[in-house]
Amino acid sequence: MRVTVSRKAHFNAAHRLYRREWSDERNQAVFGKCNNPNFHGHNYELIVSVTGEINPETGYVIDMKDLADIIFEEVEIAFDHKNLNLDVPDFENLIPTAENIVVVVWNKIRNRIDNSNDLEVTLYETPRNFVTFKG
């Protein structure tokens, strides 16, 4: 029996969506308000779901405490109260859109999860806008 275990997390971060090599006009046309040169913030919500077999000895797919610790170490410490463009090396050459953030988060957590388990990450940038990556 494969069961999905999910954990919610949260971080606040600032970003700006733009390409250095594009003109101001083109950045404004493509990214609009998200191109604000002084950055802007979001209250990001994260749902991390791990699917796998129930371990017959523990009754767990994954220990929720371990999953919480992994999210804390890999995502919250790295992103919370940071400027994603300026403070987070993952976005030095990658536009911090919700799509790119969810892939970065997925890769960080994937490295810490047993290979036999599947991983899905959903990232809410606003209550109505969210993205999902399953690898």
Residues found near Ni ion in the complex (CB under 5 A): 34
Please tell me which residue in 21, 25, 34, 92 is annotated as part of the active site. 34
Extract the tokens encoding 89. Answer: 């090396």
Q: Which residue is nearest to Ni ion (CB)?
A: 34
Extract the tokens encoding 95. Answer: 């536009």
76 is catalytic: no
Task: Using CB atoms within 10 Å of the CB of residue 105, give its burial: 0 to 12 exposed, 13 to 18 middle, 19+ buried.
Answer: buried
41 versus 135: smaller Cβ distance to Ni ion: 41
Extract the tokens encoding 63. Answer: 């220990």
42 is catalytic: no
34 versus 78: smaller Cβ distance to Ni ion: 34
* Torsion region of 89: left, alpha or beta (phi above 0 gives left; psi -120 to 50 gives alpha): alpha
125 is catalytic: yes
Distance of alpha carbon 7 from the chain centroid: 13
Please tell me which residue in 15, 42, 74, 125 is annotated as part of the active site. 125
62 versus 75: smaller Cβ distance to Ni ion: 75
Active site residues: 34, 81, 125
